[in-house]
Structure 1
Amino acid sequence: MSNTDVGKKKNLYIAEKPSVAKQFAEALGVNTNSSGRRGYIEAGEHIFTWCVGHLVSMSYPEVYDEKYKSWRMETLPFLPKEFLYEVIPSVKEQFQQVTGLMEREDIGCIYVCTDSGREGEYIYRLVASFCKNLKAEERRVWIDSQTKEEILRGIREAKLESAYDSLAKAAYLRAKEDYLMGINFSRVLTLRYGRALAKSLGKEKSALIAVGRVMSCVLAMIVQREWEIRRFQKTVFYKALGDFSLEEGGEAGLLCEFRSREDSPYYKEKDLYKNIGFLQKEKGEEFLGVFSPLPREGRVTALEKKKESKNPPLLYNLAELQNECSKSLKISPDECLKLVQELYEKKMCTYPRTDARVLSTAVAKEIEKNIQGLLSFPPYAKYAKEVLAMDSLKSIARSRYTDDKKITDHYAIIPTGQGAGQYNSLSYQGKRVLDFIIRRFLSIFYPAAEYKRIALEIEVSGECFTANEKVLTKEGYLCLYQKKEKNKEASTGDLAGKGNGQEQDDLDSEEAVTESGNPKLSELKKGAKLYLQELKLKEGETQPPKRYTSGSMILAMENAGKLIEDEELRAQIKGSGIGTSATRAGILSKLEKNEYIHLEKKNQQLSPSELGEKIVQILSKSIPALLNPTLTASWEKGLSYVEGGEISEEEYMRKLEAFVEKNTNKVKGL
């Protein structure tokens, strides 16, 4: 059919990738192998094309004026009144194909099918801004997975593109912000410090100092942690451990540690580290002599028995999944994103670039079909069958795992239950990532894990020894993560699938006096006699701060520079992150590419290079605001305010230009 054939108006679907365009075509019943056209698929009333990522970019300063081609102090700050954009040369042919289709007379409606997020919106808006004869109606398809049902729902419920104008404004502002800070600060700092930096590194040419709103802040966090490690001075101490028996003349087996009390002559003594360890071995040996000869009778002076429960963790968002992959698979956030994106494109999981860790009410009401789909996956069929029989399935919409207020663009990453036929074609790591997602998803329907905790204090010869035991009594959701051992209570277990960070931590990190729980210990009462059979000193030492791993850094970025382990606390400060779920992995990759940091592949630890450290030193004297995680996060928060219509585009731009102008002029005057 030629472009001039007049008849029923056609629908044009614009995706971000060819593979996604083909999935939309297949969902609408179009044979994707029959069109024979280059750059798009046309069949009947449907046309499908794609953007291959960005087709348009912001122009370099020299496009505005040739004088900006050379880096000179007098041309800074560079703050254009209007921003210029240009087609990326390598994709010019596809750009012409897409814009040509958008301006065709027979196009009645354009369905925007780029990724459902800020960046996807920006990709389309830039292309549309180059279309001078765009007459078709524009509608936005917003989907959470690429299953046929979800694609058809997204098309059916597509809103007018104008409904996403605030999202587009935030997208344009984010790009302008990165552009203005990058151009101005990189140029002025390079001009001011580039030669001195190169000289300090033993190089002749001036060194380029590349900085950015998020990139510099993250670099500073890595450098600061390295400096803390270097300044650290370890402290060696000696713990006194007593081995008790429950009966006189019985076999020892209850290991307790000395804990200094206020009535002890050792309390807060300068030779005692945190009231538990002697700083001098001689002092520790002197202490052991107090109890000679052994055995010694002791008495239980305090005893606490209580039940504890641990609920299944919240679902994965991208940051949590990237941290999991860094910890368990030793792969970078960028590699994790590629793997989960592949799962998404194979319709096996929902949209990955999400910050939410809960379900929406609408999805919770239809979640049974996702679980039904998992019956086709042999490793998970047993658990899916159990969940389908649980009452929790009906009440999940009223649980902590469903909360519309904690969702902005997309809900948490969950399995769709589809794609079982492609499971065997996944790489080993792809299967592992899917395993994480499926087990975490299924776990929210299971009851909490239950523990029995016993804490006791034993007084012997006027001194106090303490012990804690925590025993798993009901595995609850942990059945998804450990191999069951018959007739054995244990606080640890083997993870199905060779380990899964968060849940494996739940299994492995519990304190236990004995390996599988001491049955007689649970029978103890306050005032009961115990018998100290053996005493020894155990050497220990304080540990330096840990380097960030690629995964823990992603979590720290999500939480405004704070590495918060507790998920409840993380949830409280949600929305104050550095960067977004879509950009954080790329920031680390860029820092590594610029040789500002090193990434140790084996353990995913991050450390700064000499160049990276010197750049942080320069920034701390020139533009310290770029190193402040809270301030950096506030810029991201501001973009979310624009997106929500709480502040205007003009107000944000005024603050941005003032910040860039003030700090550029400050460096010029140094």
Structure 2
Amino acid sequence: MESQKLPPNLTYPKTLHRLYIAEKPSMAAEIAKCLPGPASRKDGCIHTGGGVITWGYGHILRQAEPDEYDPKYERWRVEDLPIIPESWKLLVADSCKKQFEIIKNLIEQANEIVHAGDPDREGQLLIDEVLDYVHNQKPVRRLLLNALDEQSIRKAIANLRDNQDFQNLKQSALARSRADWLIGMNLSRAYTLAAQRAGHRTTLPVGRVKTPTLALVVRREREIENFKQADYFTLKADFEHSDTIFTAYWKPREEQSGLDTEGRLADKAIAQALLEMLQAATEPAAVISCETTEKKEPQRLPLALSTLQVMAGKKFGYDPQVVLDTAQKLYERKLTTYPRSDCEFLPESQQDDAAVILGNLTGLAHRELAGWSGKADSLIRSRAWNDKKITAHHAIIPTVERCNFAALNETERNIYFLIAQAYIAQFYPVHVYDQTRAELEHAGERFTANGRIIKELGWKEVYGAEAEEKKEEDSGTLPAMSKGDRARFIQASAEKKSTKAPSRFTAATLLAAMKEIHKYVKNPDLKKQLKDVAGIGTEATRATIIKELIERGFLREETKRKYLKPTEPAYLLVDMLPEELTYPDFTALWEDILRQMAEGSASLDAFLGQQARFAASLCTKAKGADIPLKGDHHCPRCRKGVLQLRNGKHGKFWGCSRYPACRASFDDKNDKPDIPVRKAQGQG
């Protein structure tokens, strides 16, 4: 690339001791405030007594498009697929050329460089790729900023790490970027061309994460369309023991007749017969077993981004992108820590700030947060404090910066509330209760009763009713019983219920599905393996993927609840693609490999070789894809394409959508193809 001249008013000292490269200007400004000496802003950088700070604007470099490898790829052709770069090419983004030149010149003059990208996979790559692009040989340190308040920045500057420690994280980000290119560039072309051969005038974007996400919504919609409501009956009985009346629920035996495939009683006559038999029995019920166990429920962990997005969606109806944008604003205002975190744990050293943070929350102009934090015990150490669970970032929590709650807008207040609430809960005791399970027999039928007695409310005081998972067959408080006791039967009843269709996804519940992707895999053997994988996509990209599917017309939001429904192009895309692309099994496994790569136990070259072979095999599959024809006039010659009106040298004519594989052509007659009878009968 040709070097651009620096602006004439830009001068640097001949040698810089230390150069900080931040991911964005706002972060650079905060770092500058924490370095010694006066700060002076120049074009594209800030000078201080402790070094010079410059910045990018996200990715300064971009992946080259296929036609930038070879001009022949500008035209989409089946015979050119798959496109596999022999060596990967990056180009300076047009909007960043001036800033790139500034960074390049500053790197040349520095003795030492501090990588100050965001503390995640992409943040690692976007600074590293610039350093690699300019062939930097200077030593590089890594600054990990999980919060932008002054105390956190100063602490991070005092604890710089060797950037080589994050080489594996960069490899993982490179693997993700290049795999997405191989899948997206090749398969979008392959299946768009296949659709066009069948007469569809459309472009179909295929993505490693985007496509299985879209398929989740399509399959859910079809489940709803094909749902047939079924009735079933729940039998329960009231018993009395030690002057206490309680409810127990009937449990059918394996050989019980009248059950549906889910083990529910679906036969009304059998339900009625059971009720009559229970009512007619004169013997008291026998207690078969009764066990009481003390249970302890640890504090709900602080929030990762996806957890925050799901909670905010359920509680406030917020779109995931709104949650991310708001969390980013709170971070930039130094009120909360780094938002794009996939971690729900905290470094043990961070507990030193607990008293200050809780003290600040006590003074908030918010009755609940102030009240809860006032009762919190900063010395309590929940399971959240665990250095072994920390990578480059930790859970999202309030910083030591005092928050002017009244100055926040409503959305910011609500998001800050959820973050602070989860943090405060760490300083309440564990929730303790006695769980009792009793089994009774009456008239030869088995009944079970479950009850609990809370011994210490603990952290659930902060969450109240929303922390309780009320189960349908919860019997409330049970009397003390022992095996062999008798209980008086009072009455039995059968409640008629109906099965319900699955709910449509909203943006928040779809995001939760992407995170808990093991629930949706097709291969049952993978379910357990994938339960430990952090879903498909990343904390930073899931909201963007859902937003793009909506903006590109594959999903639409309906009703006040903003339920997601697929559009016609969504059905076309999902139906024509092979299962390897529409089920999340492979994508989730790839995410697992990327995680292994970040930990140093998987190879970049091996992974990309696998992806290249995968892309090639699916390009071959696209040639034989079964796609419904779109058009009024099917080609009478090949019978696999449709005739489309085109303009030629001699005017309008009709040609086959599968050209050049099929060269059938017909004259235009009153805006219809003039097909001779013998050709229409397949004789020509």
Fold-level match, TM-score > 0.5? yes
Conserved? CA contact 1:216–1:627, under 8 Å: yes
Q: Which one of 301, 306, 315 corresponds to residue 314 of structure 1?
A: 301
**Aligned pairs (5 A) from 1:1-12:** 6=13, 9-12=16-19
Amino acid at match of 1:553: L
Shift in CA distance, 153/253, structure 1 to aligned 2, threshold 3 Å? same
- Which residue among 354, 361, 364 is the counterpart of 1:377? 364
Structure 2 match to 1:501:
none
List per-residue Cα deviations over 1:146-174 (Å, max 9, x = no partner): 22122123223323444433332332222
Residues 197 and 244 of structure 1: CA distance in aligned 2, closer, same or farther (over 3 Å)? farther
Which residue identity does 1:618 align to in structure 2?
Answer: M
1:489 matched to which residue of 2?
none
- Matches of 2:616 and 2:586, distance apart in 1: 17
Residues 160 and 171 (structure 1 numbering): CA distance in 2 closer, same or farther, change over 3 Å? same
Equivalent residue for 1:47?
52
Q: Find the counterpart in structure 1 of residue 631 from structure 2.
A: none
- How many residues were matched structurally? 610
Using the TM superposition, give the Cα deviation of residue 345 of structure 1 relative to its aligned residue in structure 2, in angstroms.
1.8
Cα drift, residue 276 of structure 1: 5.9
The whole-number CA distance in structure 2 between the counterparts of 1:25 and 1:215 is 39
Q: Contact 1:333–1:550 at 8 Å: present in 2 too?
A: yes
The 8 Å contact of residues 438 and 450 in structure 2, kept in 1 or not, is answered as: yes
Local SS of the residue matching 1:468: strand
- TM-score calculated relative to the size of structure 2: 0.79
1:610 aligned partner: 568
- Select 1:15's aligned residue among 16, 22, 25: 22
Partner deviation per Cα, 1:221-257 (whole Å, 9 max, x = no partner): 332333333343332023344445669xx9x964444
Superposition pairs of residues 460-499 of structure 1, within 5 angstroms: 460-482=442-464, 493=465
Separation (CA, whole Å) in 2 of partners of 1:611 and 1:59:
28
Match of 1:269 in 2: 257
Q: Greater CA deviation, 318-327 or 92-101?
A: 92-101
C-alpha separation in 2, matches of 1:170 and 1:274 = 43
Answer whether contact 2:224 2:502 (CA < 8 A) is retained.
Answer: yes
Residue 131 (structure 2) pairs with residue 113 (structure 1): no
Q: Report the CA distance between 1:178 and its aligned residue.
A: 0.9
Matched, 1:215 2:210: yes
Which residue in 1 is equivalent to 2:228?
233
Runs of 5+ consecutive residues of structure 1 not aligned to the other structure:
199-205, 483-492, 494-503
Deviation at 1:211, TM superposition (A): 0.3
The aligned counterpart of 1:650 is 605
Change (3 A) 1:167 1:277: closer
- Closer/same/farther in 2, CA of residues 538 and 214 from structure 1, 3 Å limit: same
* Contact map agreement 1:349 1:413 (CA 8 A) in 2: yes
Q: Does 1:298 align with 2:301?
A: no
Match of 1:353, SS state, is: coil
| Residues 364-373 or 632-641, more deviating | 364-373
Report if aligned partners of 1:40, 1:50 keep a CA contact under 8 Å in 2. Answer: yes
**3-state secondary structure, aligned to 2:155:** helix
1:585 to 518, 521, 543: 543
Distance 2:310 2:12 in 1: 54
CA contact (8 A) 1:8 1:45 kept: no
Matching residue's letter, 2:16: K
Cα–Cα, structure 1 residues 335 and 213, in superposed 2: closer, same or farther, change >3 Å? same
Give the Cα separation in 1 of the matches to 2:377 and 2:263: 52
- Which residue of the other structure, out of 559, 566, 587, is the alignment partner of 1:632? 587
Return the offset for 1:368: 4.8
Distance change >3 Å, CA 474–CA 86, structure 1 → 2: same
Give 1:372 deviation, angstroms.
Answer: 4.7
Question: In the TM superposition, what is the alpha-carbon distance from 1:184 to its structure 2 partner?
Answer: 0.8
Q: Is the 8 A contact 2:23 2:116 kept in 1?
A: yes
TM-score, normalised with respect to structure 1: 0.80
| Distance (Å, rounded) in 1 between the aligned partners of 2:456 and 2:605 | 57
Partner of residue 127, structure 2: 124
Of 513, 516, 523, the residue aligned with 1:556 is: 513
RMSD: 3.5
User: How many percent of aligned residue pairs carry the same amino acid?
Assistant: 28
CA apart distance, 1:522? 2.0
Per-residue deviation, 1:542: 2.1
In 2, are the aligned partners of 1:221 and 1:561 still within 8 Å (CA)? Answer: no
The counterpart of 2:149, out of the listed 147, 150, 153, is 147
Q: 1:271 Cα deviation (Å)?
A: 6.2
Give distance in 1, aligned partners of 2:84 and 2:183. 10
1:451 matched to 2:433? The reply is yes
Asked if structure 2 preserves the Cα contact closer than 8 Å seen for 1:553 and 1:563, the reply is: no
Q: Deviations over 1:389-422 (max 9, x none)?
A: 64x34xx5xxx433333333222222223232x3
Distance 1:43 1:651, change over 3 A: same
Deviation at 1:213, TM superposition (A): 1.1
Change (3 A) 1:57 1:271: closer
Structure-2 change in CA distance of 1:13 and 1:299 (3 Å): same
**Using the alignment, how far apart are the partners of 1:340 and 1:455 within structure 2?**
43
Q: 1:237 to 1:273 in 2, by over 3 A?
A: farther
Alpha-carbon offset, residue 667 of structure 1: 2.7
Structure 2, unpaired ranges of 5+: 1-7, 522-526, 626-684
Q: How far apart, in 1, do the equivalents of 2:593 and 2:260 lie?
A: 50
Q: Which moved more, 1:112-121 or 1:373-382?
A: 373-382
Please say if residues 559 and 570 of structure 1, whose CA atoms lie closer than 8 Å, have aligned partners that are also in contact: no
